[in-house]
Amino acid sequence: MLRGVLEDLPKFPPKNAPYRSVDEFILRISGAVVRPQTLRLEDILKLPKVNLTSDFTCVEGWSVKGVVWGGVRVKDLLALAEPKPTSRYVLFKAGVFTKLMDMRSATRDDTILAYSYKGEMLKYEHGAPLRLIFPSQQCYESVKWVDAIDVLEQPTKDTGREIALSRIQTKS
């Protein structure tokens, strides 16, 4: 088990990624929206880029200080789909791994889908092409390989915490 301050994010095998390569990636935005979207990475790269610098800390006991992420604001992606006035939640998905956020948190200026890490395109083992990043997140909330965003009117149970904790308990 890793502990302490690391220079770089650990590389974990992408066994839970919903696709096998960045080339086959498609982001779908659906649910309580006026215009569902199907976006390829090149479409996302045309949107305004923002940078976010934050410490990255894992419940396993390791951290990486001052990580610079680059990506697109979630609110800019959602604007393309036009959430309905009754929309209250956003569910980020990577296969069966999900993270639920309320609409206000998901549309903050500092909630992004990152596609770059330390000034370079994000690598597949770090969650490429898109990884959910926001301040004060728990490590498991930084969903790797985001391939779908569901806009919801009612909350639903997410799976991220349960899946992450089961991996940690398995290692012990």
Mean pLDDT in each 10-residue stretch from start to end of the chain (172 residues)?
A: 80 65 88 98 96 87 91 98 98 95 98 96 90 89 94 95 75 50
Residue pair 34/81 in contact (Cβ under 8 Å)? The answer is: yes
pLDDT at position 172, please? Answer: 47
- Condensed to tens digits (0 to 9), the pLDDT of residues 41-81 reads 999 999 999 999 988 888 778 889 999 999 999 999 999 99
The CATH code of the domain that includes 48 is 3.90.420.10
The CA distances from residue 123 to 40, 101, 126, 140, in Å, are: 17, 25, 5, 18
pTM: 0.90
Asked if the structure places residue 35 within a domain, the reply is yes
Asked if the structure places residue 30 within a domain, the reply is yes
Residue pair 146/27 in contact (Cβ under 8 Å)? The answer is: yes
Q: Which residue has the tokens 């790797």?
A: 144
What dihedral angle (degrees, nearest 10) is formed by the CA atoms of 169, 64, 98, 35? Answer: 180
The number of domains in the chain is: 1
